[in-house]
Amino acid sequence: MKCVSTLVRNHSGVLLKVTSLFGRRGFNIQSVTVGVTEDPEISRMTFTVADDEKTISQLVKQLSKLEDVLSVKVLNDSDCIKRELCFIKVKAQSDKRSKIIEIADIFRARIIDVSKNTITLEITGDGDKTEAFIEMLSDFGICEVVRTGILAIERGEEMLSIK
């Protein structure tokens, strides 16, 4: 999977315009994250896509043509930091809680809510770590999983900027 990062004008309708391009052109979005940057007039959209290099190159060209898109860049896996946030609510009978807490400690997850019958956990990391954590908890009975999608930023001095 590749991360395609864009800087766009921050106003109503931009997300719809950009994601509509994906649909019209047959690109499948695995995840999308959007947030305002250090400049409140600009938002950053990070898309995770599972396509070949040629298709991703075509996507970049198409995105670059959109009026509200200020910059587009495919982030190289080895040159960027990727993370996602995930909340997992699991069934947690009293006799199983210590095992759930032990698994959470191994994965450096945090307990963010406890009720009579459930524990809700928070984990941050790459997709493989999150998937492994969910798999380890599956035997307890997963009630809900909520994921943010991937956030990505380039390492070191490199950065996405308006061209």
What pLDDT sits at residue 90?
A: 98
Same domain? For 114 and 54 the reply is: no
What pLDDT sits at residue 28?
A: 86
Whether 158 is covered by a domain: the verdict is no
Residues in the chain: 163
The stretch 61-79 carries a mean pLDDT of 93
Same domain? For 95 and 31 the reply is: no
What pLDDT sits at residue 18?
A: 94
- Confidence band for 61, pLDDT divided at 50, 70 and 90: very high
Same domain? For 56 and 87 the reply is: no
The stretch 55-79 carries a mean pLDDT of 92
For tokens 């075509």, the residue is 58
As given in the structure block, the two tokens for residue 67 are 């009026």
Number of domains the chain is built from? 2
d(CA 56, CA 50): 9
The larger pLDDT score, comparing residue 43 to residue 52, is at 43
d(CA 57, CA 63): 10
Above 80 in pLDDT, residue 163? no
Whether 91 is covered by a domain: the verdict is yes
Among 75, 106, 127, the domain boundary falls at 75
The stretch 66-83 carries a mean pLDDT of 92
Mutual angle of helices 127-137 and 97-106, in 10-degree steps = 160
Among 46, 75, 104, the domain boundary falls at 75
Global pTM exceeds 0.95:
no
Mean pLDDT, the chain, whole residue set: 93
For 155, phi then psi, to 5°, come to -75, 155
The stretch 81-91 carries a mean pLDDT of 96
For tokens 């809680």, the residue is 97
Whether 163 is covered by a domain: the verdict is no
pLDDT > 70 fraction of the chain, expressed in percent and rounded: 99
Q: Please classify residue 69 by burial: count the beta carbons closer than 10 Å to its beta carbon, then call 0-12 exposed, 13-18 middle and 19+ buried.
A: buried
Same domain? For 57 and 86 the reply is: no
d(CA 134, CA 128): 10
Distances (CA, A) of 113 to 31, 58, 125: 26, 44, 20
d(CA 35, CA 15): 11
- Confidence band for 161, pLDDT divided at 50, 70 and 90: confident
Range of the domain at 132: 81-151
Above 90 in pLDDT, residue 145? yes
Same domain? For 101 and 46 the reply is: no
